[in-house]
Amino acid sequence: MKDRLHNEELMLLRLREGDEVALRELVDLYRPQMLMEAYYILRNMHEAEDLVQDVFIRFWSLRDKVELKPSFSAYLSRAVRYECIIKIKKEKVRERRQHQYSYFMESSVNIKPFENAELASKLNDAMQEIPPAARKSFMMAYMEDKSQKAIAAEQNISLQVVKNNISKALKILRQKLHTVK
């Protein structure tokens, strides 16, 4: 047990010094276990391989900050599970948005051209009522499908400001479009 901990501490030191051979050793040692865990959760080998590669890339970029508690195996296993959960959540959001889009497209097929133009005009007018910062956050979230964290980073604002902007935009759209049927 002490030898294993000592070896892991030495490997972590080598990694922190930028030793790519140590990274290759780490990948060779833990990749099979991580692949099994990711595949068990995702049930897709291609996605599991991509995810494990992303975990190692993230690990390499954060190697100076890594704290081994209690071991590499535990750390990397937690990282794989965490990334799998994030991937599944993103997929569910994407599916929900796709379903909402499909529902909208199906219901808009029955709209006559002049009704479609009127609806577009009302939507455009409502969008103009949204303050510019809130409109930009809203468009990035719903039209560009960006996460709130990505929007905050891109706009150099806090996550809470992004949430407030999107909430404000949705409130204005609901108020302006609630009579549109």
Tell me the per-residue pLDDT of 52-92, one tens digit each, with 9 for 90 and over.
Answer: 999 999 999 999 888 877 888 899 999 999 999 999 999 88
Residues 61 and 120 in one domain: no
Is residue 45 assigned to a domain?
yes
Query: What domain range is 46 assigned to?
Result: 2-89
d(CA 156, CA 150): 10
pTM of the model: 0.55
Nearest to 52 by CA among 20, 26, 22, 15: 26
Whichever domain contains 133, its CATH number is 1.10.10.10
Question: Which carries the bigger pLDDT value, residue 135 or residue 115?
Answer: 135
Residue 7 lies in a domain: yes
Domain count, the chain: 2
Is 101 contained in some domain? no
50 and 17 belong to one structural domain:
yes
Widest CA span in the chain: 77
